[in-house]
Every structure is written in structure tokens, then in C-alpha cells.
């Protein structure tokens, strides 16, 4: 199976500017393509995972990826999907975030010997002459057409600044610059980037009088159409300091049955037929496929050793008999047991499993807290040394977050 057909079989392709031309480009030629990343945080998250995996698939097929970091556009912020103007980041924060992204992408993308390119659009955007830019680039954009784009239509009622109106023009100019510098002929992005991608394709045709192409990927959504990658703690990050490998594993191990095949197709290198065979069953028999998914995605991001540790930790919770030493762990001392006990809310705050006692109280009252497998619905409950058999207790927050407490 050639690479374009594989992308289609996996359900990854949402829209493409010229399917026959893009199929020929990817299947029969070597091309340079780019995917952009806005450095609005210091970690990539699950929402980026689909694009990074697609970048890795195409690199394995012999194509050259460009990871473009938005050091310039990040100072404006993409209005796509936002109802309010994004916070403007300082240059130092953007540089820090870009360095973090680079580190997190390296396990999947081979940047050695020119096999992949890292670029930062600040290199060309920050030194533009405004009047010259308007004359050479701005004339090719229709404001009427821009306002028809979904990303701008959503903002018109609440107000759209001229500042943000520039985002599409700047992203389109990125494609032109990458075409001139590296011969980049294909831009890939999330399905919500279609309008911006079309802008770049048309700009290259106008300025360079040669073809360029765009392709969008389906967003990672669950069976209800909601974006995946959120837990009780917030976003699921690729940085292990923000989302531990164990919590990362547990997120994928706990997804809905209807989402398993799609996630395996989007986020693993397992062959399509193997995935279909794994997901042919239903009910509890589908747990094996969920374990495979959790292991494969954790291995891809955090490495084989961390994936195996996370799997062992999960087996300790659900299968018994395994080592729980790989579970996220905090330690308290007997001195923390005032008069021989500690309030469950005090403990939750101490180990930073909740941000406040009021959050912990709601969690308990709503049935979202368990200690050693027993629900704790009384916020006034206390734990004593007896609740730490063999010096440890297991706390469960919600459906997916587990934490071991050692009493020393």
C-alpha cells in the first residue's frame, strides 16, 4: 500500500486541494512538506499528536518534513476556534516554548543529516517592511473572501481586531517563504486550518507561477464529536512533567470503545489490517486493543521503558499482583497525621491532586474520589495509619487519575 492510500485507509485525510496531484506527489516523488506549530505553551499536547505522527509517516516514506515553529505568528495568535483574542506572548517565552517543542518531537522525527528541517517564521516575519509587504503580498488577499472563512465568521459578532486579521496573510506568506527557501510544495494542517492553507496555495501560484498543494487532517475527536485530550486535570500533554507517562497511558487505556479503532489508526504505526483484527470484537474483549493502544502511544512519546512501567502500574490496579512502584507517587510522614489522622481534603491539597479544598469537596461529594478502591463521599473523612497497609494507599480521582501515597 502506497503512502497516500495508507493515509486514506487510516481516515486521516479530511480535505485536499488536488487529490490526483497530491497522490502522485506523495506516491511517486520525493517532496518537502511542512506542518506549523504555534508555540503558545511549553508542551505539545494530544491535539498535536495526529500531525506529528503524520509527519513521521511521510518521513518514513522518503519525504522531507519541515517543522515550522511560529515564533512570529505566535506573537499574534491564530483566531481559529477562539471566541476571544489570544494572549500575546513575549519573545523570550516563545523561544523557550520552541525549544521544548523541539525536544518533544525528536523521538518521532529524525532531524539528523537534513532528513527533517526545523524553521522559525520569526526569521522572516520579524524583519518585514510593512509597506513593501502590503504591496507584494497583501494585494493578493480579498477581505471579503477572508471574512467568509469560518475562523473569522465566528469572531465577527464579538469583535475581530485588525491585528488578528493579519494571521491568515502571515501564515500564507510562511508557505511562500518555505517554497522559496526549501522547495516546499505541500502544507499539511488540522482540518480547522483549511482557509489558511488555501491562502498559501493561492499565494504561491500568484507569486511564483507554479503549483502548490494543501492537505488537512481529521481532528482527533471521540464518537460524540468532541475533541480528545482532556481529563479532570486539563489537557493531556506530551511533556512528562505535565502529564506523567502513567497518566498518559491511563488516558488511552480508558477511552470509549467506539474510539479505539480511530485512535489506533491515527496514532500508531500498526498495520491497518492488524488494527481491524484487534478491534473486530466488542465489550470486555476490546480491552486488549485498548492496552495495545495505550502501550503503543506511550512508547512513541515516552519510550519503551516508560511504556512498560506504565503498563505494569496499570496491571497493579486492575489485574493485581504487579508492582505499583511505577505509579505517580507522593510521600507523607507520620508527623502529617495530626492526632493520628489526616483529613482527606488536606491530603488531596498536600499532594496537589486538587488545587483547593473546595475542589476536593466537590470531587468527594460527586463520587469522584476513592481510597484503596473504596469511594469516599464524605468530605470530612479522615485517613489513619490503618488506611496505609504496607505503608501505602492508592487514591483514585475521577475515572483515570491514580496516585500512590507512601507513609514514612
| Distance, CA of 65 to chain centre | 18
Give the Cα separation of 328 and 22 in Å (integer). 45
Catalytic residue among 171, 250, 268, 279: 171
Catalytic residue among 216, 231, 243, 279: 231
The domain boundary residue, chosen from 217, 247, 267 = 217
Catalytic residue among 82, 102, 140, 181: 82
Nearest Cα to Cα of residue 402 among 332, 325, 304, 314: 314
pLDDT for the residue 77: 54
pLDDT at 34 over 90: yes
Q: Is there a domain that residue 109 lies in? A: yes
Question: What is the chain's Cα-based Rg?
Answer: 24
Q: What are phi and psi of 149, to 5 degrees?
A: -65, 140
- 136 with 119, same domain? yes
Positive or negative, the Cα torsion across 213, 210, 126, 195?
A: negative
User: In the predicted model, what is the mean pLDDT of residues 355-372?
Assistant: 90
- 208 with 241, same domain? no
Catalytic residue among 86, 140, 315, 357: 86
Is 352 annotated as catalytic?
Answer: no
Is 86 annotated as catalytic?
Answer: yes
The β-bridge partners of 237 are 45
pLDDT for the residue 385: 85
Give the Cα separation of 62 and 56 in Å (integer). 10
- 262 with 139, same domain? no
Q: Is there a domain that residue 108 lies in? A: yes
- 98 with 57, same domain? yes
Is 123 annotated as catalytic?
Answer: no
> pLDDT (tens digit, 9 = 90+) per residue, 215-270?
999 988 887 888 887 655 568 899 998 888 988 998 898 888 999 999 999 999 99
Q: Is there a domain that residue 382 lies in? A: yes
Write down the mean pLDDT value for the chain.
Answer: 87
Q: Is there a domain that residue 310 lies in? A: yes
Q: Is there a domain that residue 142 lies in? A: yes
Under a CB-based contact definition with an 8 Å cutoff, are residues 168 and 149 in contact? yes
Confidence category of residue 320, pLDDT binned at 50, 70, 90: low
Catalytic residue among 15, 40, 154, 324: 40
Q: Is 18 helix (H, G, I), strand (E, B) or coil?
A: coil
pLDDT for the residue 155: 65
Is 397 annotated as catalytic?
Answer: no
Q: Determine which of 55-59, 68-72, 79-83, 169-173 has the lowest per-residue pLDDT on average.
A: 79-83
Catalytic residue among 10, 38, 48, 239: 48
Catalytic residue among 42, 192, 257, 336: 192
Number of domains within the chain: 3
- 15 with 78, same domain? yes
Give the Cα separation of 96 and 132 in Å (integer). 31
Catalytic residue among 103, 115, 227, 399: 227
> pLDDT (tens digit, 9 = 90+) per residue, 9-32?
999 999 999 999 999 999 999 999
Nearest Cα to Cα of residue 253 among 319, 190, 305: 319
User: In the predicted model, what is the mean pLDDT of residues 169-187?
Assistant: 96
- 288 with 308, same domain? yes
Give the Cα separation of 384 and 341 in Å (integer). 4
Domain that holds residue 239: 230-323
> pLDDT (tens digit, 9 = 90+) per residue, 77-131?
555 544 444 566 777 888 888 889 988 999 999 999 999 999 999 999 988 998 9
Give the Cα separation of 11 and 5 in Å (integer). 10
Instruction: Please state at what angle helix 304-318 crosses helix 287-302, rounded to 10 degrees.
Output: 150
Catalytic residue among 8, 96, 140, 230: 230
Q: What are phi and psi of 79, to 5 degrees?
A: -75, -5
- 14 with 73, same domain? yes
The domain boundary residue, chosen from 217, 245, 274 = 217
- 247 with 187, same domain? no
Spell out the long-range contacts of 348-353 with Cβ–Cβ below 8 A and sequence spacing 24 or more: 348/395, 351/395, 351/403, 351/405, 353/395, 353/397, 353/401, 353/403
Place of cell 505541500: 186
- 316 with 198, same domain? no
Under a CB-based contact definition with an 8 Å cutoff, are residues 171 and 137 in contact? no
Is 40 annotated as catalytic?
Answer: yes
Question: Quick one: cell of 240?
Answer: 512528562
Is 83 annotated as catalytic?
Answer: no
pLDDT for the residue 224: 80
- 57 with 77, same domain? yes
Nearest Cα to Cα of residue 199 among 122, 142, 123: 142
Is 192 annotated as catalytic?
Answer: yes
- 43 with 10, same domain? yes
Q: Is there a domain that residue 225 lies in? A: no
CATH number at residue 134: 3.40.50.620
Q: Is there a domain that residue 224 lies in? A: no
CATH number at residue 276: 1.10.240.10
Catalytic residue among 10, 17, 38, 45: 45
Nearest Cα to Cα of residue 396 among 377, 378, 379, 372: 372
Under a CB-based contact definition with an 8 Å cutoff, are residues 250 and 401 in contact? yes
Q: Is there a domain that residue 364 lies in? A: yes
Predicted TM-score of the model (pTM): 0.76
The domain boundary residue, chosen from 300, 323, 346 = 323
Question: Quick one: cell of 269?
Answer: 504505526
CATH number at residue 365: 3.10.290.10
pLDDT for the residue 317: 65
- 199 with 120, same domain? yes
pLDDT at 324 over 70: no
Is 171 annotated as catalytic?
Answer: yes
Amino acid at each position: 500500500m502506497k503512502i497516500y492510500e495508507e493515509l486514506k485507509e487510516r481516515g486521516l485525510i479530511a480535505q485536499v486541494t488536488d487529490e490526483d496531484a497530491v497522490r502522485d506527489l506523495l506516491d511517486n516523488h520525493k517532496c518537502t512538506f511542512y506542518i506549523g506549530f504555534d508555540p503558545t505553551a511549553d508542551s505539545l499536547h494530544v491535539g498535536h499528536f495526529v500531525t506529528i505522527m503524520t509527519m513521521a509517516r511521510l518521513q518514513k516514506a522518503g519525504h522531507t518534513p519541515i517543522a515550522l515553529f511560529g515564533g512570529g505568528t505566535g506573537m499574534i495568535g491564530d483566531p481559529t476556534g477562539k471566541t476571544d483574542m489570544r494572549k500575546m506572548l513575549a519573545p523570550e517565552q516563545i523561544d523557550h516554548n520552541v525549544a521544548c517543542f523541539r525536544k518533544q518531537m525528536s523521538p518521532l522525527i529524525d532531524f539528523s543529516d537534513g532528513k527533517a528541517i526545523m524553521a522559525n517564521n520569526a526569521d522572516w516575519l520579524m524583519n518585514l517592511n510593512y509597506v513593501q509587504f502590503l504591496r507584494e503580498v497583501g494585494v493578493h488577499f480579498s477581505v471579503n473572501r477572508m471574512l467568509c472563512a469560518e475562523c473569522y465568521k465566528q469572531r465577527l459578532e464579538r469583535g475581530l481586531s485588525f491585528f488578528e486579521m493579519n494571521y491568515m496573510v502571515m501564515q500564507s506568506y510562511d508557505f511562500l517563504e518555505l517554497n522559496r527557501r526549501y522547495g516546499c510544495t505541500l502544507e499539511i494542517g488540522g482540518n480547522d486550518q483549511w482557509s489558511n492553507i488555501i491562502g498559501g496555495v493561492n499565494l504561491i501560484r500568484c507569486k511564483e507561477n507554479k503549483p502548490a498543494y494543501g492537505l488537512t487532517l481529521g481532528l482527533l475527536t471521540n464518537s460524540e464529536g468532541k475533541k480528545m485530550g482532556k481529563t479532570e486535570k486539563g489537557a493531556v500533554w506530551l511533556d512528562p512533567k505535565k502529564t506523567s507517562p502513567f497518566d498518559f497511558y491511563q488516558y488511552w487505556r480508558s477511552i470509549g470503545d467506539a474510539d479505539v479503532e480511530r485512535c489506533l489508526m491515527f496514532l500508531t504505526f500498526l498495520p491497518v489490517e492488524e488494527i481491524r483484527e484487534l478491534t473486530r470484537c466488542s465489550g470486555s474483549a476490546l480491552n486488549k486493543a485498548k492496552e495495545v493502544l495505550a502501550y503503543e502511544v506511550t512508547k512513541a512519546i515516552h519510550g519503551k521503558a516508560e511504556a512498560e512501567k506504565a503498563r505494569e502500574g496499570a496491571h497493579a490496579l486492575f489485574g493485581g499482583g504487579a508492582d505499583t512502584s511505577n505509579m505517580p507517587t507522593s510521600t507523607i510522614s507520620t508527623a502529617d497525621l495530626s492526632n493520628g489522622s489526616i483529613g482527606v481534603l488536606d491530603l488531596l491539597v498536600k499532594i496537589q491532586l486538587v488545587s483547593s479544598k473546595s475542589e476536593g469537596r466537590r470531587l468527594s461529594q460527586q463520587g469522584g474520589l476513592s481510597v484503596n478502591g473504596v469511594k469516599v463521599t464524605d468530605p470530612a473523612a479522615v485517613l489513619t495509619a490503618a488506611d496505609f497497609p504496607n505503608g501505602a494507599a492508592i487514591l483514585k480521582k475521577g475515572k483515570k487519575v491514580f496516585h500512590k501515597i507512601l507513609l514514612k
